[in-house]
Amino acid sequence: MLMNLSDVRKQKGQGIVEYALLLAFILGIAIAMQGSGIDEAISNTFARVAHALGVETEQDKWATADINSIMDDKDSAAGRLKSDQDFLKNIGRYFIDNNFTREQIQTMLGTSNNSNVLLGNFIENNDGTTYFSNELRGDGSVPETGELFNWATGAAAGTQYDTSRRYLVSDYALHNIQSTTNIKGQNVVTGNGIKIMGITYDGNGKDAKVKSIRIAVNPNTGKTGEGYSRSDLDVTVNR
């Protein structure tokens, strides 16, 4: 189990060195396993260890820097896109790894639909703070996805949303962080909506388990420009 930052700071020099070596070890494994499918989980663990040590990662910089300076940094575009793709894949893995049944998922999401299901929205305010909402569906229903951001980052259940950070950092997401949608005749800021675009199950009954799930950002709307596209933020996760 990972230590809290406060616990790490209480450690003597040897303890901190040992924890730093663990961080380096995890990084080495992640590099060796890159492309295997296991590297995503290792990457999440690496980020959590780095955070516990107070080490600023690239994701930390992207999450807190001025939005214009990030978008001007073309060298980081590929890395930021991969970060968002991993973010979406982690959401898909949450549904698969928890072995949810069809009945459980339909109850959680408040619908029997297998596609075009809004899970929630990530929005940035004018002052740079951000927030997550699962209450922006056009039909007024609210899915049980209040911790979607924790599923996506691998954080422990109950971890509070950090309003000082942005959770999606790719060029496409940054261009749409304050996008609006017409909901019941009102122009509502919806930012980046996360949707399930398709679910397949391993059977036909209510107890069938998820076989694959496709997650996308803003599949129906959103700006597309040179060098960035919504199609980049559309991933399928298989069991």
Q: What is the pTM of this model?
A: 0.78
Please indicate, yes or no, if residue 13 is contained in any of the structural domains. no
Q: Containing domain of residue 62, as a range? A: 56-238
Counted domains in the chain: 1
Mean pLDDT, residues 126-144: 95
- What DSSP letter does each residue of the chain carry, written as one string? -PPPHHHHHHS-HHHHHHHHHHHHHHHHHHHHTTTSSSHHHHHHHHHHHHHHHTPPPHHHHHHHS-HHHHHH-GGGHHHHHHHHHHHHHHHHHHHHHTT-BHHHHHHHHT---SSSEEEEEEEE-TTS-EEEES---TT----S-TTHHHHHHTPPTTPPP-TTS-S--SHHHHHTTT-EEEETTEEEE--EEEEEEEEEESSSSTTPBEEEEEEEESSS----BTTB-GGGGEEEEE-
Residue 31 included in any domain: no
In a domain, 180, yes or no: yes
**What average pLDDT does range 3-23 have in this prediction?**
52
Specify if 62 maps to a domain.
yes
Q: Which residue has the higher pLDDT, 102 or 29?
A: 102
Position 38 scores a pLDDT of: 52
The whole-chain average pLDDT of the chain stands at 84
% of the chain beyond a pLDDT of 70: 75
